[in-house]
Structure 1
């Protein structure tokens, strides 16, 4: 038994569906599905490229920020080496105390 949609113009005109019209409808559905898959594939590819481009941009931006922080730290050490040595000594003492208190 063939299910006929009452709103289908051909069904309204002829009252039934012949094999050719069923084949034509199946072909149309297949083409529509193929187009939809193509569109989804294109959108997914575009989204992947956009994500890659954004990741590359953020990576480069992070590298620049790390470089700037390193440069600033070097300038601070050069402008006040005594404070830098005292800070390093303090950090070393704290690490030593933390390690010996664990035993």
Structure 2
């Protein structure tokens, strides 16, 4: 982060945008990958328990993809410049924010 005090509001704005993008990505990845993978794992556990008469002890594995995807969305590094460029493009600021 810059030490210039006049840029602090811009960095706060971009941090808020990155938090919203992070949340949106977490929801998107959960719906797109975690839930289908969890359903497939749960179906595999049910089928294997019925076919081989095993207990349903492995059904909890169906919830494993969700924390993995949420961890990925939370810990993935994000470029501040790329965020500034997306805000520039969205509000048509003609690269004023990206060059700040």
Q: TM-score, normalised by structure 2?
A: 0.37
- Which structure exhibits the higher relative contact order, with contacts defined as CA atoms closer than 8 Å and separated by 6 or more residues? 2
Q: Which structure dedicates a bigger proportion of its chain to helix?
A: 1
Q: TM-score, normalised by structure 1?
A: 0.36
